Structure 1
Amino acid sequence: MNPLPEQVILVDDAGQPIGTAPKATVHHAHTPLHLAFSVFLFDDQGRALFQQRALHKPTWPGVWSNACCGHPLPGESFEAAAHRRLAYELGITARIELTLALPHFRYRAQWAELWENEICPVFIGRYAGPVAPNPAEVAATRWVDWHLFADACIDTQLPHLGEFADYSPWSRWEAADLIAQNSDRLLELTSSPQLA
């Protein structure tokens, strides 16, 4: 028996659930607003983990993005969903302490004929262990100097993003918002190298 298709949670403009829909059916020119989440992970040197989305994915194939993104399932908390996807996409099963840094982040973005339209809370945390990418989801991973990436994302005067031009728009917008809110937790995670 085939498993039921993964469901995403549809919401109104106030973020209140109004139904569900199969994930495979919601990313199109009239994408309904739905719930998602993003995770940024930092190592002991303040670098951020990025993944390259698998080349065969139907949305944003080959694009570099933050450590993990996904959709909570009906009845699942955002944090539980984040841990589920970190394990599935990157093989990270350690119970990382995640901090909800941007609870109300929302965005729309287009790739080809497909659209994202999401209320997407953003979590941050520290992780310095091994990464085992799932090839069904991830083509490659890399650790990136956070300050270089963040500076490129917030400098609106730059004519282009240079080495970060092929990074997902949501990861760049989220980084800019993380810097703008200047939280103590972000400063702790991205400060000078920590002693082991």
Structure 2
Amino acid sequence: MLVDPDGRAVGTAPKSSVHGRETPLHLAFSSYVFDHEGRVLLTRRADHKLTWPSVWTNSCCGHPLPGEPLDHAVLRRLSYELGLTAEGADLMLPSFSYRAAMANGIVEHELCPVYRVIADGPVEPNPEEVGETRWMPWKEFAEGALNGLLAISPWCREQVPLLTELGADPLSWQPAASTALPAAARL
């Protein structure tokens, strides 16, 4: 779903056309999976991904299908990419957006609300999407990201400071209201 800078839907385009040198702003999501110990699940993107191949990042990112609520898209992609089943996804950063360009000129330009998911199930990475996974204590991960000690995706690097503002314990973060989502994401 293509969106304007105010978060209103302005059309649709195939995924293959929204990740290039002239990437239009489009709707996506990011998610951070935590276990009941407060560890975050990190993923290394598959080596053959078009954008940021082999780069470590948050648990799962993706795009909703037309008419699909974002929280449903999060759960769908977690199942597909990581074999995880979760009961729900909590909205944390409703209006996060970013633009990042790779050295080869390919651009990510997304209105990308961020979700927290709590799941303890076994992880079964889909090799089409994920090269490797790792559980890490949130505090250790956040400190490494904030201090530039971890090589992570550009969107993750921008999200971590905003998430740490929600508190030290990710399991106690208070979800945002779904009414805070941009218009294109409210169904």
Q: TM-score range by the shorter chain?
A: 0.7 to 0.9
- The counterpart of 2:45, out of the listed 53, 59, 81, is 53
- The counterpart of 1:105, out of the listed 96, 106, 116, is 96
Provide Cα deviations, 1:124-143, integer angstroms capped at 9, x if missing partner. Answer: 12111101110111111000
* Unmatched segments (≥5 aa) in structure 1: 1-8, 156-160, 190-196
Deviation at 1:59, TM superposition (A): 1.1
Letter in 2 for 1:41: V
- The counterpart of 1:114, out of the listed 93, 103, 106, is 106
Q: Following the alignment from structure 1 to structure 2, what is the Cα–Cα distance between the partners of residues 47 and 186?
A: 9
Query: 1:5-44 residue pairs with structure 2 within 5 A?
Result: 9-44=1-36
Q: Which structure has the bigger radius of gyration?
A: 1
Q: Following the alignment from structure 2 to structure 1, what is the Cα–Cα distance between the partners of residues 171 and 58?
A: 18
**8 Å contact 2:86–2:118 — kept in the other structure?**
no
1:137 pairs with 2:122: no
**8 Å contact 2:42–2:134 — kept in the other structure?**
yes
Deviation at 1:97, TM superposition (A): 2.6
Q: Following the alignment from structure 2 to structure 1, what is the Cα–Cα distance between the partners of residues 8 and 77?
A: 23
- The counterpart of 2:158, out of the listed 173, 190, 195, is 173
Q: Which has the higher contact order (CA 8 A, sep 6+)?
A: 2
Using the aligned pairs only, state the percent identity.
Answer: 49
Q: What RMSD over aligned residues (CA atoms) do the two structures have, in Å?
A: 1.6
Letter in 2 for 1:175: V
* Unmatched segments (≥5 aa) in structure 2: 174-187
Deviation at 1:149, TM superposition (A): 1.7
Deviation at 1:28, TM superposition (A): 1.8
With the length of structure 2 as denominator, give the TM-score of the two structures. Answer: 0.86
Q: Following the alignment from structure 1 to structure 2, what is the Cα–Cα distance between the partners of residues 128 and 138?
A: 18
State the secondary structure of the residue aligned to 2:13: strand
Deviation at 1:120, TM superposition (A): 0.4
